[in-house]
Amino acid sequence: MSKNTWVCLFIGFLLPLALFQNCGSQFKANESQVSFSFCKVQGDQTKFASSKIHLDAPFFAAQQKVGFTERHYSIVLDVQCSLESDEPMEFLGQQLVLQDEHKRMQKAALTLAMPANPDLKAFELELDNNPCLLAVTENHDIKHTQSNQTFAVNDPQASNQAHLSFLQHSQSLALQSAINRPVVVAFIDTGVDYNHPDLQSRMWRDSSGRYGFNVLSQSYDPLDDDGHGTHVAGIVAAVENDGSGVAGLTGDYVQVMAIKVLDRSGEGTSQQVYNGIQYAITNGADIINLSVESQGRNTLMEDALRDAVNAGIVVTAATGNQSSEITNGDLYAPAYIGPGLAGVISVASVDTQGVRLSNFSNYSATYAEISAPGAENSANSNGGILSTELNGTSKRIRGTSQAAPMVTAAAAMLIGYLKTNGIAYTPKGIEDFLKSDGVMINTNLRPYVFGGGILNLGFLAQNLTSYFSNASAGDGSIFNGGETSGNSCTIP
């Protein structure tokens, strides 16, 4: 039996697949920002999106009547420029004070208390005259993408985690067992229960032994008080084969960096997410998991994700749980950014039962780039994904929040393998290979997910091994994902 066909035998046949063609090389970074097409661009080096003012006209007009609120508006600073300035940094007469952690970042977003009847010309003049001030932008409300209905489990076991077999996780274990270089995954969420017995040994620590950062309190205690971040982290990193709890999709090479940006109700702002992403960049994350959502265009998110991929970080983003089609007129951040920015991967949810789009999942043949299990049966209140919960327990939750970390785990496996073998890579290369060589194709999903791709870890491991068995594949060049293994599997 050929090793190139074993993964597909469970459906009975192997069919050729017209692989996704990435034409990002047709764009020059200094000519393109976020291009909402399949021709993805790698991040560029611009300081902010395209201009300094990102407040839409109707909203700005409304503020001339009622004034700005502290919660909803942000100013973005070039931190080094600010620190080197001889004068205190101000905007419209308000002093801008950087917190200690901000001072270690390249950029930071601060909250503004704007005056009533703001003058657009005054905005423009002050921004243009101060190179340290990068942008004024709306600060959208953010929430995690958790489905509301959950079902607690008292005695969880790996046999109750249907997504493990669905993803053919066991067929990736041989490859994963050989990974000996750490992969740091930043979960920008409600924090993580770092005392959970299934996560404690997998926690990342900084040089002072701290597990991450709490953007809300500006402290170094990112303890989860909601449960969402702990659940998401467990899907990737819960310790396997330890005789208790649940199993994650990776191994000891993964380190969980906890960044708390959402409160105990799972809510926050895009400014908090922005600063959380900047923390992950500053502290060497390899992957960022964003199981969060906000509606509409979000320039803070666009800028932060461009910074992340410029820093070599892969980002996974949940599409959201509104059962809606994502269109140019109905965008959901951060998912809509994925198709235009190489290294950011937008993830929709499928059910493990019936292999169909989950009934809660947002979808789009353009904006949903890959799918993964976010439920076992999305029509059933106890049909969620089983993972870690607060206080050492476990729980089932349904949502695209649960699908995104499945892809995070796949990216971690691929990055870990490349690091172990001393092979350089780009975020674009990781994304390209995952979407071409880490999926099964379900033709029925093509109206809802680009290409109909469903993540499969077993197939990814097989194709990764096959690709690097070619002597020329490890010749010291940067892995860019452009050359695939040639193995594909289609489910008609």
Q: Is 72 a catalytic residue?
A: no
Q: Is 228 a catalytic residue?
A: yes
Question: Secondary structure of the chain in the HEC alphabet?
Answer: CCCCCHHHHHCCCCCCCCCCCCCHHHCCHHHCCCCCCCCCECCCCCCCCCCCEECCHHHHHHHHHHCCCCCCEEEEEEHHHHHHCCCCCEECCEECCCCCCHHHCCEEEEECCCCCCCCHHHHHHHHHHCCCEEEEEECCEEEECCCCCEEEECCCCHHHCHHHHHCCHHHHHHHHHCCCCCEEEEEEEECCCCCCCCCHHHECCCCCCCCEEECCCCECCCCCCCCHHHHHHHHHHCCCCCCCCCCCCCCCCEEEEEEECCCCCCEEEHHHHHHHHHHHHHCCCCEEEECEEEECCCHHHHHHHHHHHHCCCEEEEECCCCCCECECCECEECHHHHHHECCEEEEEEEECCCCCECCCCCEECCCCCEEEEEECCCCCCCCCEEEEEHHHEEEEECCHHHHHHHHHHHHHHHHHHHHHCCCCECHHHHHHHHHHHCEEEEHHHCCCEHHHEEECHHHHHHHHHHHHCCHHHHCCCCECCCCCCCCCCEEC
Q: Is 25 a catalytic residue?
A: no
Among 364, 371, 387, 401, the active-site one is: 401
Among 72, 102, 228, 231, the active-site one is: 228
Among 102, 169, 172, 189, the active-site one is: 189
Catalytic positions, written as ranges: 189, 228, 401
